[in-house]
Chains A and B, each alone.
Chain A
Amino acid sequence: MDLIPDDQQQQISELAASYLENELPLSRLHVPAVAGASRATRRAFAEMGWLSMALPEDSGGAGLGLVEEALIFREIGRVVGPTAPLPIILSAKIADAGGLAGLRDQLVTGAGAAALAIAEAPLTADDGGVSGMARIYDVEDAACILVEVGNEAFLLDPAGADLSPLPWLDPGTPVARIDLAGLRVLARAPAATTRRNGALLTAAMLVGLSEGAIAMIREYAGIRETFGRKIGAYQAVRHPIAEGAARSEHAKALLYFAALAMIENRADVDLQVRSAKVIAHRAATRNADINIQLHGGIGITDDLPAHHFMKRALMLSPWFGSRKEHLDALLHEPLSTI
């Protein structure tokens, strides 16, 4: 019984944190993205093995697990890093299990990416494929589109689909909107594992966002002065920050527990994973609010990256189950006996 990262996991976390801090500092967010930057980032992530961590070694992976994935996504969330690795990792696992070695290798080397489709209206699937309107996230360089329909996860071939990005609230994630009808099916698999894995890693990003937002306002509260004092000395400022930090610890502990519940295939795995996403999402949105509000006027400007935490948390809300969907399901999940 141990919920603290071991030495190797701690090292993975720290290496990721220092890399991301150097390569993707928050200050990058208020200058226009350099063309090709996200492609280079994807390749860099691939080189570090982040896109293939949990694949078996003979599939080119590192044979690590969900905890390590969650640790990396928590760090990516902390810097409002790219969401693209999430559908890539999930799609690579489906491709690997489905014998699509070519697609898998394209994904894990960063040569191509995977887009994520989330239904805008009920999606249907039959032998011919999937149809229905969906938002397609992370469309850049997509080699496949990952979509859940009922109890199945599909990888679709984006060839012929119009994936030109729409104007969109979160500039870090290019998004299109299409009808999935007519796209060729590359692979199909039971959805349960993909859905849990996706909800877990989304929760991990949200935990990172909640922590990153609090880190940002904590730093500012120690520098900014009003009425002759550092604002962090005012209880109207320090108390919401303290609550936010507690919210992050709460969400983080549940995230780790859920990851282990998945690994150990506990009977309450769905209850844990659903709860982890609900709590992480609430922590991310509330802490993003605190970060903007307590910065005062500068908080609503584009000179400050505070708004990106809020936009990203909003954007991740429907990923792998909305709050309402998870709440309605987890209410009736039996509490696992101790």
Chain B
Amino acid sequence: MDLSYTPEDVAFRHHARAWLTANVPTQHRPAAVKAGAAFDMAWQRKLYEGGWAGVNWPKEFGGLGLSAVRTLIWWEECERVGAPGYERTTIALTHAGPTLITRGTEEQKAFHLPKILRGEALWCQGFSEPGAGSDLAALKTRGTVDGDYLVVNGQKTWTSGAATAQYQELLIRTEAGSERHKGLTWIICDMSLPGIEVRPIKTMMGESDINATFYDDVRIPLANVVGKVGEGWSVAMSTLAFERGNTFLRDQISLSGKVERAIDLARNTITPNGKPAIADLEIARKLAEVKADALGLRAMAVANVSNIDRNGAPGPEGSMVKLLVSQVNKQLNEAVAEVLGQPFLDYAGTKESGPWTFDYMWGWVLTIAGGATEIQKEIIADRVLGLPRSR
């Protein structure tokens, strides 16, 4: 055990820091859906040109093949200069790309992976449906084979970025009468195909980058199937280990910085009694406790990368990180609402108009999207603790 970095890791850090400092965008990410997506693609393009695209993708597929420790260093340096996160490139870089790497054909990989790395294509995820959220295997959107095509009919929902994505990882039921995990197919869907309609869903934050997506006789070439027809569930689950290792690293690191900003806010906010909010012991201790929590999450990030580099897979902490990060984030948000008092309510429907207020509401996105808190607990109970199955 040690907390020190090898000289090579330190050199890598300085190399990353120098490049990031010179290249980090000087403007904030725009709030508008299209402008935001364009910003994300431009940043990905810049990363590609600088040789920083796909930090943890294998080298043979165009990535940097960084060890987990160096991936952590990369995110720490991004955090230090306030570099953009994945944003709308999330699905392409952390899910669709890795799925293609694991299960795609040579043609699929050759066509899509470079586009993702170069920032030429955004992806969205077509998994959830109105009747299949946490219970994904209940999905009903149908695909019927017709010659060399799958003809798709149905509806997906919570499709983040559907209005700006070029491609979608689409999970559909292709075997009539099949149930649960059987008879599903994972297919690459070109979002410009006729018969696809994207309708924005306005959120409580006032923004609309999640959508309902409708499919009316959408003809997708069978060549776009990843894995085989009927193997969709195993394809969809093939990147689980990848996700557990990496998806929350940036969040784990950035939480400590966010806590410090909240503490500064409490020092600088005068409450109606004329004193700074930090002088309120209850607020001060709440903030102190989330500060300790955030340090614990950072320690877990180090444990996580240690396990990946040592054993090739995350340890139990990998399944626990999302549960904890999203909960600690909510506790921090609650403390901030108390710090700000009435001005916390000043909000005009965009993140810029009230970043803390936006974050407070975004807290529920983190505890629901990508496996709700309750599902995270099921995963821990089943896979880590081996408790008797609940279903």
Q: What residues make up the interface of A, taking CB atoms closer than 8 Å to B? A: 1-6, 9, 67, 218, 221-222, 229-230, 232-235, 238-239, 241-243, 245-246, 249-251, 253-254, 256-257, 259-261, 264, 266, 271-272, 274-276, 278-279, 324, 327-328, 330-331, 335, 338
Whether B377 pairs with A4 at a CB distance below 8 angstroms is no
CB pairs A–B below 8 angstroms (9 shown): A1-B69, A2-B310, A232-B381, A238-B377, A239-B374, A241-B381, A249-B317, A275-B295, A279-B296
Of the listed residues B77, B315, B324, B387, the one surrounded by the most CB atoms of chain A closer than 10 A to its CB is B387
Chain B, residue nearest A327 (CB): B288
Give every chain B residue within 8 A of A221 (Cβ-Cβ): 387-388
| In the bound complex, CA of A68 to CA of B149 (Å) | 62
Contacts of A331 in B (CB 8 A): 263, 278, 284-285, 287-288, 291
Given that A222-B387, A238-B381 are contacting pairs, would A1 and B287 also be in contact in the complex, using a CB cutoff of 8 Å? no
Point out the residues of chain B lying under 8 angstroms from A239, CB to CB.
374, 377-378, 381
* Majority secondary structure, A binding face: helix
CB distance B299 to A257 under 8 Å?
yes
**A2-B310, A249-B320 known; A242 vs B377 contact (CB < 8 Å):** yes
Interfacial chain A residues near B323, Cβ < 8 Å: 242-243, 246
Contact present for B320 and A246 (CB under 8 Å): yes
Most buried by B among A1, A230, A239, A242: A1
Which residues of the partner chain A approach B79 to less than 8 Å between Cβ atoms? 338
Would you call A3 and B387 a contact (CB within 8 A)? no
Q: Are A330 and B292 in contact (CB under 8 A)?
A: yes
Which of A67, A264, A331 has the most chain B CB within a 10 Å cutoff? A331
**Closest-CB distance, B127 to chain A (whole angstroms):** 23
| Given known A-B contacts A250-B297, A274-B292, A328 and B303 have beta carbons under 8 A apart | no
Q: Which of chain A's residues have a CB closer than 8 A to the CB of B317?
A: 249, 253
- CB-based contact A2/B377 at 8 Å: no
Q: Which 6 A-B pairs have the closest CB atoms?
A: A275-B292, A242-B380, A257-B299, A232-B387, A253-B299, A230-B388
Contact A257 B293 (CB under 8 A): no
Picked from B293, B377, B386, the residue with its CB within 8 Å of the CB of A243 is B377
Known: A6-B1, A242-B387. 11 other contacts (CB 8 A): A3-B299, A4-B1, A221-B388, A233-B388, A233-B389, A238-B390, A242-B376, A242-B384, A254-B295, A254-B296, A279-B292
**Are B291's CB and A2's CB within 8 A?**
no
Residues of A within 8 A of B303 (CB): 3-4, 249, 253, 256
The chain A residue sitting closest to B390, CB to CB, is A233
List, in ascending order, chain A residues with CB within 8 A of B324's CB: 246, 250
Give the chain B neighbours of A234 by CB distance below 8 A.
Answer: 390
In the complex, the answer to whether B293 meets A279 with C-beta atoms within 8 Å is yes
Please state if A328 and B300 are interface contacts (CB–CB under 8 Å): no
Using known A-B contacts A238-B377, A264-B3, A335-B260, determine if residue A1 contacts B288 with beta carbons closer than 8 Å.
no
Q: Given the complex, which residues of A lie within 8 Å of B378, measured CB to CB?
A: 235, 238-239, 242
Chain B 143-161 per-residue mask, 1 if CB under 8 angstroms from chain A, else 0 = 0000000000000000000
Kindly report which residue of chain A lies nearest to residue B17, judged by CB atoms.
A338
Decide yes or no whether B237 CB sits under 8 A from chain A: no
| Contact between chains at A218 and B288 (CB < 8 Å) | no
Q: Is the CB of A253 within 8 A of B292?
A: no
- A8 → chain B closest CB, angstroms: 10
Which residues of chain A have C-beta atoms less than 8 A from B293's C-beta?
A: 250, 279
Which residue of B is nearest A1, CB measured? B69
B76 in the interface, Cβ–Cβ < 8 Å? yes
In the bound complex, how far is the Cα of B287 from the Cα of A4, in angstroms? 29
Q: A338 — which chain B residues lie within 8 A by C-beta?
A: 76-77, 79-80
With A254-B295, A331-B284 known as contacts, the answer to whether A241 contacts B387 (CB < 8 A) is yes
Q: How far is the CA of A256 from the CA of B302 in the complex (A)?
A: 10
| Complex partner residue of B295 from A222, A235, A266, A271, CB under 8 angstroms | A271
Measured in the bound complex, the distance between the Cα atoms of B77 and A9 in whole Å is 31
Q: Which residues of B contact A324 (CB under 8 A)?
A: 285
Smallest Cβ-Cβ distance to A330: which chain B residue:
B288
Are the CB atoms of B320 and A266 closer together than 8 Å? Answer: no
Q: How far is the CB of B75 from chain A (nearest CB, A)?
A: 10
Instruction: Give CA–CA (A190, B291) in the complex, Å.
Output: 28
Whether B302 lies near A257 (C-beta < 8 A) is: yes
Per-position binary interface string of chain B over residues 307-329, scored 1 when its CB falls under 8 Å from any chain A CB and 0 otherwise = 10110000111001001100000
A228 to B71 Cα, complex, angstroms: 48
**Chain B residues near A3 (CB-CB < 8 A):** 1, 3, 299, 302-303, 306
B2 within 8 A of A: yes
The answer to whether B388 touches A232, judged by C-beta atoms less than 8 angstroms apart, is yes
Q: Which residues of B contact A275 (CB under 8 A)?
A: 291-292, 295-296
| Most-contacted residue by chain B among A218, A249, A251 (CB, 10 A) | A249
Residue of A nearest to B260 (CB): A335
Cβ–Cβ contact A1 & B390, under 8 A: no
Q: How far is the CA of A249 from the CA of B322 in the complex (A)?
A: 13
| Contact residues in B for A67 (Cβ distance below 8 Å) | 1
Closest CB in chain A relative to B317 CB, distance in Å? 5
Indicate if the CB atoms of B1 and A5 lie closer than 8 Å.
yes
Min Cβ gap A239→B in Å is 4
Asked if B385 and A241 make an inter-chain contact with CB atoms under 8 angstroms apart, the answer reads yes
What residues of A have a CB within 8 angstroms of the CB of B256 in the complex? 335
- Give B9 Cβ to nearest chain A Cβ, in Å: 7
Residues of A near B388 (CB, < 8 A) are 221-222, 229-230, 232-233, 238
* Bound Cα distance from A239 to B292, whole angstroms: 24
Contact of B5 with A by CB under 8 A? yes
Q: Is the CB of A1 within 8 A of B2?
A: yes
Cβ of B305 within 8 Å of any chain A Cβ, yes or no, is yes
User: What's the least CB distance linking B372 to chain A, in Å?
Assistant: 12
Chain B contacts for A233, CB-based, 8 A:
387-390
Closest residue of A by beta carbon distance from B285: A327
Give Cα A272 to B307, complex, Å: 21
Query: Is the C-beta of B289 less than 8 angstroms from some C-beta in chain A?
Result: yes
- B4 within 8 A of partner (CB): yes
Contact digits for B258-274, partner A, Cβ 8 Å, 1 yes 0 no = 00100100000000000
Which of B76, B260, B381 has most chain A Cβ within 10 Å? B381
